[in-house]
Amino acid sequence: MEFTAKQLAQILKGTVEGDPEVKVTSFAKIENGRQGQLCFFANPKYEEYVYTSKASILLVNSDFVPKQPVSPVLVRVENAYSSLAELLKYVSDEKKSHRRHRGWRSRVAFSAKLGHKVYVGDFSYIGRNCRIGELTTIYENVYIGEGTTIGSRCIIYPGVRIYPGMVIGDNVILHANCVIGSDGFGNAPQPDGTWEKIEHLGKVIIGNNVEIGANTTVDRAEMEATIIGNGVKIDNLCQIAHNVEIGDNTVMAAQCGIAGSAKIGRNCILAGQVGIVGHLTIADNTTIAAQSGVISSIRQPGGTYFGSPALPHRNFLRSYARFKQAGQE
């Protein structure tokens, strides 16, 4: 990549303070910035580095007022953090050469239909009657089972396994080695103490603009569908069990586990290692702190919950204070 300050300002709808022709070729954190690099400043705790940075260009909020002289050229934008995200996406999109390609060591069924400029890497398999939307990239060593539908502009990274009959929307990113559509953990106890496997004949439906992290698994339903709503972001190493429903724009950090038939609302935040018992309902806009265990439904939207079993924030703090006091006696 190579940008001048003037070009950056045009892309991000900002203004330049300093030499508009200064160039950058890479990104760096503000404390590590060097000549030829672009840094950004959004968090006040890092302000000291604004005055010591050797970066060529610094992305800042439009209302930032320096307390000392600043060496880098400033590009002022409405929100530096959001603008950085926009710029990173712009650079990423520029690097992707959307070209039609089918690796000669890949295998694509004759009945599969691939849209305009679909990329298929070597050793990938696309089964019968699959439908792949335009500008989708399928990297090497991917398995896509029979009858699966994948939308446009998706990115399927190496090692992903998609079982037959799954439905995936547009602009979906599946990171390396995630598994979509494996059987849920359903077993019926028998009189002799053994377990009889319950066959899973349903599917997984993933909405638009979803991102699922590496080594995450999403199990298919027994009869209907496990549903991941639009805009959902799931981190690495998460487990989404059969018949789970996750509402639009909910985010989930690493190592979360959602048991079967749980229903998670819209715009929820699940921090790392949250566990949710099956058949529960979590209301919209709920935040659940790291390592919390939810064992009963949360009906009131907008709450924050801590602990195991998870309690409302204030209740948790009171309980923790008493527990700590008892431990000191």
Tokens 């990329």: give the residue.
119
**According to CATH, what is the number of the domain 3-95?**
3.40.1390.10
Pick the CATH number of 101-317 from 2.160.10.10, 3.40.50.300, 2.40.128.110, 1.10.1370.40: 2.160.10.10
Q: Reduce the DSSP state of residue 31 to 3 states and report it.
A: helix
pLDDT at 329: 66
How much is the pLDDT for 246? 98
All residues at 6 or more sequence positions from 205 whose CB lies less than 8 Å from its CB, including other chains: 166, 167, 225, 226, 227, 228
Contact 190, 213 (CB under 8 A): no
Q: Where are the domains of the chain?
A: 3-95, 101-317
pLDDT at 92: 79
| Residues found in the chain | 329
Per-residue pLDDT for the chain (329 aa), expressed as one digit of tens each? 799 999 999 999 999 999 999 999 999 999 999 999 999 999 999 999 999 999 999 999 999 999 999 999 999 999 999 999 999 888 877 666 566 788 889 999 999 999 999 999 999 999 999 999 999 999 999 999 999 999 999 999 999 999 999 999 999 999 999 999 999 998 999 999 999 999 999 999 999 999 999 999 999 999 999 999 999 999 999 999 999 999 999 999 999 999 999 999 999 999 999 999 999 999 999 999 999 999 999 999 999 999 999 999 888 888 878 877 776 76
- Fold match, 3-95 / 101-317: no
Is 192 in contact with 175 (CB distance < 8 Å)?
Answer: no
Please pick, among 175, 200, 242, 279, the residue that the annotation labels catalytic: 242
Is 279 catalytic? The answer is no
Q: What is the DSSP letter of 30?
A: G
Judged by phi (left if over 0) then psi (alpha if -120 to 50, else beta), residue 145 lies in: beta
